[in-house]
Amino acid sequence: MSDRREINPLYNGHRLKLGTFSSNLSGGCAITTIDGVLKATWPETLALARMADEMEFEALVPVGRWKGFGGVTDFNGAGFECLSWAAGIAASTSRCGIFSTTHVPTIHPVMAAKQVTTIDHISGGRFALNIVTGWYTGEIDMFGETLMSHDLRYDRALEWLEIIKRLWTAEEEFDYLGKFYQVRKGWLAPKPLQEPYPVVMCAGGSGKGRDFAARHCDVAFVACNTEDLDETRARVADYRRYAREQYGRELMIWSNAYIVQAETEREARDFHHHYVYEKGDWEAATNLVETMGASTEIMTPEILRAMKANFIGGWGGYPLIGTREQIVDGLKMMCDLGLDGTLLSWPRYAAGMREFQTETLPLVKQAGLR
C-alpha cells in the first residue's frame, strides 16, 4: 500500500488537470447525426484512452449508462459497462487516472469494493470511483428497483460507501446492519494499493448532494454556468469553504467542457451551429432533459431550448469554441474559476482529440497550465 498522493495522478502539481468524458458510450458527449462521432467500439475507446495516456491526462471518466435516450441516434444507447471498461483500460495504459462511474442501485457494495480493489491493483493505484445515486427511471426499472426520493437515494449511497470504505480498510471481519444493507462478517483481501483507500468522486449539486460530497468524497463535480461565470466561481469557492468549515476537509473541484476548434473562430462557430442546430438529435436531447426533470413548467421555452442545445453540443459542458489560442484562453478561464480540472470531449471525438494533442496541448503547456 502507498499514500495515494504519491501514486494517483489526480494529486500531481499541474495547475489545471485534464480528462476525457464519456468515451465508453456511443455518441460520446455529442447528440448529433454528423459523421465521425464515437461509435464506442473497443478499438475506438482504447485508442482514445491511449491518446489520453500519451498526454498524461489525470482522469478518464466513463459514463454509467444502461439505456439510451431514443431519437434517431439512440444517444448513449450502446457502450461499455464502467467497471469492466476500467479494468481493460487500466491494463492498457500506464499514466492516466482511471475512473469508474457506478450507480448505487445496480451493484452490491461488497461486489463493488472487490471490483474497485482489483482495478486499483491492475492500474498500479491510478483508480478512482465516481458515485452516482441514480436518476434515470428507465434504467433503475431494469434492475427491478424503484427510484427512491432524492434524499433517500443519498441516504442509501452513504451506507453503500460506508461499507465499501470499511472493506477497504478493516483489519478484522465486521458486521454492518443498516437500513438499506446488511453485511455479516464482511472482509476484503487484498486491500487497495492506495492508502487510505482509492479516490472517490460525486457530482452532488443539491444541498444534500453537496453535503455528501464534502463529507465523504475527495472530488466534487460541478457544472459551469455558461451564462454567469461569476456564479460558477462563487459556487466553487462556496463548495470548498463548506467542506473546510463543516468537516475540515479539502476537496478537489472538477467540471466539464467540450471543444470545437478550427483555424478561425467563424469556422468553429459555423461547425458548432451545423452539428447542433442542423444535425442535432433534438428528440434524444428532449428525452434526456425531460428525464432529468427539465420542462417548460419550470423554465422558459428559450432557456429550455438553450439547455437542449448545450447537451447536444457536449453533455451540458462549458462550450470552448474557436481557434486553438481561444481554446487555451478558455481553459485558463476555467482554471481561474478555481477548478482543479476539467473533463473534455469533442463532437468528432477521435479527430478532435488528435488535433488537441498535436496543436493545442503545446500551447496549454506554454500557458503554464500543465
Question: CA torsion angle for 39, 68, 128, 46 (degrees, to 10)?
Answer: -10
Give phi and psi for 112, each to the nearest 5.
-60, -40
What DSSP character marks residue 106? G
Distance CA 352, CA 8 (A): 27
3-state SS string over 47-103?
A: HHHHHHHHCCCCEEECCCCCCCCCCCCCCCCCECCHHHHHHHHHHCCCCCCEEEEEE
pLDDT at position 282 is 98
Q: Identify whether the C-beta of residue 355 lies closer than 8 Å to the C-beta of residue 261.
A: yes
For 71-96, letters b (16+ CB in 10 Å) and e give: bebbbbbebbbbbebbbbbbeebeeb
Give the residue extent of every domain in the chain: 2-366
pLDDT at position 298 is 78
Distance CA 266, CA 321 (A): 9
Distance CA 106, CA 38 (A): 26
Note the pLDDT tens digit of each residue in 53-86: 999 999 999 999 999 999 999 999 999 999 999 9
Each residue's pLDDT, cut to its tens digit, for the chain (370 residues) gives 899 999 999 999 999 999 999 999 999 999 999 999 999 899 999 999 999 999 999 999 999 999 999 999 999 999 999 999 999 999 999 999 999 999 999 999 999 999 999 999 999 999 999 999 988 999 999 999 989 999 999 999 999 999 999 999 999 999 999 999 999 999 999 999 999 999 999 998 889 999 999 999 999 999 998 889 999 999 999 999 999 999 999 999 999 999 999 999 999 999 999 999 999 999 999 999 999 888 777 789 999 999 999 999 999 999 999 999 999 999 999 999 999 999 999 999 999 999 999 999 999 999 999 9
Distance CA 262, CA 269 (A): 9
What DSSP character marks residue 218? S
pLDDT at position 243 is 96
Note the pLDDT tens digit of each residue in 92-127: 999 999 999 999 999 999 999 999 999 999 999 999
Distance CA 243, CA 253 (A): 11
Which residue type is seen at 12?
A: N
Q: Give residue for cell 456511443.
A: 26
pLDDT at position 299 is 84
pLDDT at position 1 is 80
Distance CA 120, CA 167 (A): 14
φ/ψ bin of 117: left (φ > 0), alpha (ψ from -120 to 50), beta (otherwise): alpha
What DSSP character marks residue 173? -
pLDDT at position 159 is 98
- Helices (H) and strands (E) in the chain — how many of each? 14, 13
Distance CA 8, CA 11 (A): 6
Q: 367, 368, 346: which is closest to 356 by C-alpha?
A: 346
Q: What share of the chain is helix, strand, coil (3-state, %, to 5)?
A: 45, 15, 35
2-366 maps to CATH 3.20.20.30 = yes
pLDDT at position 130 is 97
Distance CA 217, CA 211 (A): 10
Distance CA 29, CA 302 (A): 22
Distance CA 210, CA 234 (A): 14
Query: Within a 10 A sphere around the Cβ of 6, how many other Cβ atoms?
Result: 10
Q: Give the three-class secondary structure for 324.
A: helix
